[in-house]
Structure 1
Amino acid sequence: MIGKLTGKVDSTGDDWVMLDVGGVGYIAFCSSRTLSALPEEGEVTSLLIETHVREDHIHLFGFATQAEKEWYLILGTVQGVGAKVGLAILSAISPDELSVAIAAQDKTTLTRASGVGPKLAVRIVNELKDKIAKLSLGVSGQVVNTSSENKGNATPALAVSEDAVSALVNLGYRRSEAYSAVAKVSSEQGLDAPLEKLIKGGLSELMR
């Protein structure tokens, strides 16, 4: 099992790179994000590797960061998200954006990836939301979960945060954008900040 490769960049294609490791060329399939982070041909680089072994082939998938590799593995647990779609998602959406999009149940952001339609976006959110539904707001011991199904059981502070997110969404902002903006304002002003401040602060963040 190959976990990491370090070698010279020999050549690249639309979705792959060949690394020359001691005279042996290894082809690894990568997201466009990882490919864009590679150095020039002939220069040395390292990639984290996920090895797929099948009856008819052995494929290597390369990642520039641990976060990208972990997300690739997580996405692969969703029915309908194969290797190609997983890389397409990571090409279109960064790991940080992906975390926020799923926590905020922002299906529109997921459909930015090639091969991800509305139905698959819904499935990804539904199957993964429990794993990353809670995001730190930067306040020790406090987390937020803005899923609508949990709103009825939320504390007053978290319910206010969800109301602020909903208000910003109604103004035309994407849910993931609104979620991030409210999270930042909450971390700065405290989870007991009133709704009006969260909305105004969130707007200020979004308009920067």
Structure 2
Amino acid sequence: MIARLRGILDSAGADHAVIDCNGVGYLVFCSRRTLGLMAGPREAVALHIETHVREDHIHLYGFADTAERDWFRLLTTVQGVGAKVGLAILSVLSPDQVATAIAAGDKALLARADGVGPKLAGRIASELKDKVGGIALGPAVVGLGPVAVGLTARPAETGGAAADAVSALVNLGYGRAEAFTAVARAGGKLGADATVSALIPAALRELAS
């Protein structure tokens, strides 16, 4: 199996790149995010590769970093999420944003990707919410204190001040993912015993900063 490619970018399309490795051109399917991080033709490029072997083809999927590759692997374990849809999600959301959307149960954010309707977005959020902690979430979620940890574990089921604060911000018109992140940051600063009345203004300040 091919796990990594290092070579020269020969050409790129809307969803793929051709990587020249010592005279052999490898067609690699990529997210728009990964394609956007590549330099121009004839420049050096290195990609983490996920190899899919089927009866009628061998496809290579390339990623700029291991976080994106790991999310691709996890997303494609969900029924209805094939490689194409997995790349579509990672084309509109960074790995950190995918993690936050799933942790917050933000189906609308996941549904921004081509091929992801409300039903599939709900399935992704439901099936992967308990697996979010297994992948590095990045600065948007990790290290935000006890409230963040509680929300990340089961945002839809978490009771108490944090969940109430998230609901209040959503009712004010904020997206669930951004409300989740703001409350998590506020909770990390205020501590696990923070009340709703303290969390909401603190989270609003986070959103305004």
TM-score by length of 1: 0.91
* Unaligned residue ranges in structure 2 (runs of 5+): 135-140
Q: Is residue 113 of structure 1 aligned with residue 113 of structure 2?
A: yes
Match of 1:191 in 2: 192
Letter in 2 for 1:138: L
Query: Using the alignment, how far apart are the partners of 1:54 and 1:60 within structure 2?
Result: 11
Letter in 2 for 1:57: H
- Residue deviations 1:154-191 (CA, integer Å, cap 9, x gap): xxxxx111111111011010111000001111112212
Q: Is residue 3 of structure 1 aligned with residue 9 of structure 2?
A: no
1:148 is displaced (CA, Å) by 3.3
CA contact (8 A) 1:102 1:133 kept: no
- Aligned positions of 1:14-163 closer than 5 A: 14-132=14-132, 136-139=142-145, 143-145=149-151, 146-151=154-159, 159-163=160-164
CA contact (8 A) 2:147 2:184 kept: no
Query: Using the alignment, how far apart are the partners of 2:92 and 2:156 within structure 1?
Result: 26
* Unaligned residue ranges in structure 1 (runs of 5+): 152-158
The sequence identity of aligned pairs, in percent, is 54
- Residue deviations 1:94-127 (CA, integer Å, cap 9, x gap): 1101111111100000010000000101111111
1:147 is displaced (CA, Å) by 2.9
Match of 1:182 in 2: 183
Secondary structure at 1:144's aligned position in 2? helix
Query: Using the alignment, how far apart are the partners of 1:140 and 1:163 within structure 2?
Result: 16
CA contact (8 A) 2:7 2:46 kept: yes
Q: 1:172 to 1:29 in 2, by over 3 A?
A: same
CA contact (8 A) 1:137 1:186 kept: no
| RMSD over equivalenced CA pairs, Å | 1.8
CA contact (8 A) 1:9 1:41 kept: yes
Aligned residues: 201
CA contact (8 A) 1:46 1:64 kept: yes
CA contact (8 A) 2:85 2:116 kept: yes
Letter in 2 for 1:183: A
Query: Using the alignment, how far apart are the partners of 1:149 and 1:116 within structure 2?
Result: 24
CA contact (8 A) 2:147 2:187 kept: no
Letter in 1 for 2:157: E
Letter in 1 for 2:16: W
